[in-house]
Structure 1
Amino acid sequence: MKGVMIQGTASDVGKSLIVTALCRMFANDGKRVVPFKSQNMSNNSYVTRDGKEIGRAQGIQAEAAKIEATVWMNPILLKPRSNQDSEIVYLGKSLKTLSGRGYRDTFYEKGLDVIKQSLDQLSSEFELVVIEGAGSPVEINLKDRELVNMKVAELAGVPVILVADIDRGGVFASIVGTLELLEPDERQRVAGVIINKFRGDISLFQDGIDWLEKKTGIPVLGVLPYVENHMIDGEDSLSISQQFTASKKGNLDIAVIQLPFISNYNDLDPFLYEEDVSIRWVKQASEFGTPDAVIIPGTKSTINDLNTLKDNQIDILVQNHIDNGGYVVGICGGYQILGEEIIDEAGSDTGIANNIVRGLGYIPGRTIFYEEKETVRAAGVYHENTGLSANRKLEGYEIHLGKTVLHQEGCSFLSLENGKEEGYYGRNGQIIGTYLHHLFHNDEWRNHWLNQIRKSKGLHTKETTYIREYLDKRYDKIANRMKEHLNFELLNDIINKWCSK
């Protein structure tokens, strides 16, 4: 197999972003390139065209590679449901929930088989694979049964490029220490080093490059700059707050409830393009303040996160916000939380069958959790009862176990193309609940919703910001920026020579 694997000295060193950029670089060079990550651990997921679920990062990387995403690009997705257990999504479908110990003890051989199958499938369709590792390749307590780093490089037969994050400090120790902890055959596979997130004058770092190359005997392929607000989705939990920390302060204050098991937080990305909007996370009651709007996002563990909301008394603040005329949108798990009642009939949310919890009570309906998960791309128009123009098409995707049934007629949000009614639209749009992820990626809808809030504050309305025009351009922008600081020719030579061995 012809390709390369990007591994890191730690989590959140920028592996996903670098793989995304490389996919676009190779695609722009006319190569049929494909991303791959054997095993993802993330609640930030992506629904393929055929309704399968993979890690969000691989969906984004497929877009950068100018191809359609498939399950072969991420055959194993682990979605944390608690501090101990994760749902296993296997080839795009929910398989079972296991503890970390249970997963290591029972799933290793099955994991190896599907990784080999996936690599074979991708190598038959594409000429080059760019593989992303996870965390660090030298987690000593996990190495004997790992499915994400050197074992995958061995199966694929590709060289490894090691990435280190200089922004967090200790870059020399992290690189040399990682190499020292690798087995001799693993170290031989490391063909290059990339230093990421550099700030300042790169020429001042030349002595550091020289020392590293002399010490390790491995070439430094590039010192990549720190890229602010790159708008490429992260997958690590470390990336969530960082992505919005640098968000500007605008006239519109939107508070997002940071649920412990938040999922698909990329639903919020479009607000980063709105000049007068600031997004901030709320984990504690003291952080709530007086927002103009509240968004309760998706979650992998609705009842647990609802209980956390209540324990932290954030539920009271959300209720006061709504009672005082504030806007609120609940997406997926947030939609369920805003309802009157949640029934875990199958025990698929909490592990306790028939567990019943009261919701916040602002949406007239109840949610029942079943065993089968629904993953589907969806599209529709505003329901006629909203009073909004029905010729505006909205698109997104659904990922949920629970089904919400409203017991009040004439309050649905959308009429879907499959003939079903979806979501809740109440108080002339003050309260909205929906299962449609990427709701706010629909530019005209997002503008309509923001203009409602602007009017309520006595502010001027604004024209629609069409962020879709920027989405593909951002891949080129990131790829070109990184290519300026990367020895792309040497990287190609490494890949070609390794393939010919």
Structure 2
Amino acid sequence: MKGVMIQGTASNVGKSWIATGLCRVFARKGIKVAPFKSQNMSNNAYVTVKGEEIGRAQGIQAEASGVEATVEMNPILLKPTSEQRSEVILRGVSQTVWSGSEYRMKGYEKGKQAIKKSAENLNDAYDMLVIEGAGSPVEINLNDRELVNMSIADMLDVPVILVADIDRGGVFASIVGTLELLEEHHRKRVKGIIINKFRGERSLFEDGVRWLEERTGIPVLGVLPHLENHGIEGEDSLTAASVYADQVHSLDIAVVHWPYIANDSDVNPLSHESDVSLRYVRSFDELGDPDALILPGTRSTIDDYRTFEKLGLKEVIREYAREGTVIGICGGYQVLCETMYEHKADTVGTTGIGLFPLSTMFFREKQTIRVKGSTHPASGFAESSMSGYEIHLGRTKGLNTTPFLELLDGPEGISLDEGRLIGTYLHDCFHNDEWRTDWLNRLRKQAGLPEQPVLHLSDRQKRYDRLADHLEKYLDHEALLHIVEESRS
């Protein structure tokens, strides 16, 4: 198979980011390229045009490649629901919830076959695959049944590029240690090294590059400077960090950080606004008095809500909402309702925060769909086009409420007090530039700050090009292409 695999010395070293950039680099060279990650563990999902779930990173990489995302690009998605259990999504469809040991025993062979089938389908349709690994390839206790690192490199017979993060320190030890722990035949697959997130003067690292190449016998293909504000979403909340603007002249927006927060990429556009300070809240004493509060999605709505209820956050949110601005998205919308029922037979239900006179019933069948529409005429907002996607098990209903949106298939969500309190299932709502600006300008006016013009962030293609420009400047991509070609000869 023609392709290259990006593995890392650890999680969050930049594998997804580099894979996304390489997809764009190769696509600009006229190569028909597609991303592939055999198994992804993340609560950040992407909905394909067919309404199937894959990891959000692979959806973004497909966009960077200029192709439509499909389930073949991420045949297995694991969405953690607790410390030890995950929902298993196979080729875009939810199958079951298993513990790690159950998955290793019951899901290994089935997963392996799904991966092989997906890879073969992609190989028939594309000229090259940019394949992403996960975590570290030397998790010794798991390697006998792993489905995402060197076993996949063997299955597809592709060269491996090892990425290390110099910003976290210990880069020499992480690279050499990873190579030493690899079995000999796997070590031979590693054909290049990339140093990521470099800060400072590049010339001062020349001796380091020379030492690595002499010590390992593997070329360093690039030392990539840390790229600020690249706008490419991280794979999961591990990459999320609070963004603080000028505290005196900025909006303070708090985001509830659930234990199993899902699709926190919903709030990413706010971090690009120069006068917005974005921070996560994990306990009642961290809330304070923000200009707005966002409750994002969660993969374990009721369990996460109960955890926060014990921490006292329920009453704090209820009190804040008397005058403050609140928006709940997906699971955050559900907990703001009066009652949540775990299934049809649940006659008691769980009492929610109670901002909305609505109830939510959870079903086994998941709703996964891309949607379009506009703000509802009665929502309190100026009419603007809205698009995004929905991923949820719950159905929320009530009587005589004002919808937030008017979608092609009918009204959606709730808007109270002229849009001060909002509940919606629409993920990516803040990616709609016109509406985001309208919402923020209301907050700015209340805070005595000047209103701002629309900041256009919806053109992701420019961000992919900027990332590709960065890689082409600092990475020997021609040598990388030669490695790929040589491996197939």
Q: 1:413 aligns with which of 404, 412, 415?
A: 404
User: Take 1:305 and 1:396, find their aligned partners in 2: how far apart are those partners?
Assistant: 24
Q: Which residue pairs with 2:488 in the alignment? A: 499
Q: Tell me the residue number matched to 1:312.
A: 311
| Distance verdict in 2 for CA 1:122–1:247, change over 3 Å | farther
The question of 1:446 aligning with 2:446 is answered no
Match of 1:295 in 2: 294
Distance 1:379 1:358, change over 3 A: same
1:422 aligns with 2:412: yes
1:247-326 equivalent positions in 2, closer than 5 A: 249=247, 250-323=249-322, 325-326=323-324
TM-score, with structure 1 as normaliser = 0.95
Please say if residues 346 and 371 of structure 1, whose CA atoms lie closer than 8 Å, have aligned partners that are also in contact. no
Separation in 2, partners of 1:23, 1:175 = 24
The percentage of counterpart residues that share the same residue type is 54
Taking the TM superposition and a 5 Å limit, the aligned residue runs for 1:165-184 are: 165-184=165-184
Shift of 1:474: 1.1
Q: Return closer, same or farther for 1:467/1:123 CA change in 2, 3 Å cut-off.
A: same
C-alpha change, 1:13 and 1:83, in structure 2 (3 Å) is same
Mapped contact 1:345–1:369 kept (Cα < 8 A)? yes
Partners of 2:237 and 2:264 within 8 A in 1: no
Match of 1:335 among 328, 333, 336: 333
* Inter-partner Cα distance in structure 1 for 2:224 and 2:245: 22
Find the residue that maps to 1:148 and give its secondary structure: coil
How big is each residue's C-alpha offset from its partner over 1:335-354, in whole Å with a ceiling of 9 and x where there is no partner?
A: 0010000010169xxxxx66
Is contact 2:381-2:418 (8 Å) kept? no
CA 1:388–1:196 in 2, change beyond 3 Å: closer, same or farther?
closer
| CA–CA distance in structure 2, aligned partners of residues 187 and 363 of structure 1 | 57
Aligned equivalent of 2:342, options 335, 341, 344: 344
> Aligned equivalents of 2:315 and 2:454: distance in 1?
34
CA deviations 1:300-321 (Å, max 9, x no partner) are 0000111122111112221111
**C-alpha displacement at 1:367, in angstroms?**
0.4
Q: Shift of the alpha carbon at 1:482?
A: 2.1
Counterpart residue type for residue 368 of structure 2: T
Aligned partners of 2:120, 2:347: CA distance in 1, in Å? 43
Match of 2:458 in 1: 468
Partners of 1:11 and 1:236 within 8 A in 2 = no
Q: Match of 1:432, as an amino acid? A: I
**Does the aligned pair in 1 maintain the 2:32–2:126 contact within 8 Å?**
yes
Cα offset for 1:11? 0.4
Q: Deviations over 1:262-293 (max 9, x none)?
A: 00011111112212111111112222111010
Distance, in Å, in 1 between the alignment partners of 2:488 and 2:175 is: 25
Q: Is the 8 A contact 2:243 2:277 kept in 1?
A: no
1: CA distance, partners of 2:103 / 2:86: 9
3-state SS of the aligned residue for 1:112? helix
Structure 1: gaps spanning 5 or more residues: 348-352
RMSD: 1.4
Q: Does 1:29 align with 2:38?
A: no
Partner residue, 1:206: 206
Aligned length: 488
Runs of 5+ in structure 2 lacking a partner?
Answer: none
**TM-superposed deviation, 1:472:** 1.2
Counterpart amino acid of residue 382 in structure 1: T
2:474 to 478, 481, 485: 485
- Deviation, 1:114, is 0.6
Once the two structures are TM-superposed, the CA of residue 484 in structure 1 deviates from its matched residue by 1.2
The answer (yes or no) to whether the contact 1:385–1:410 under 8 Å persists in 2 is: no
Tell me which moved more, 136-145 or 478-487: 478-487
Distance 2:317 2:37 in 1: 38
Following superposition, the deviation at residue 461 of structure 1 comes to: 2.2
231-240 vs 365-374, which moves further? 231-240
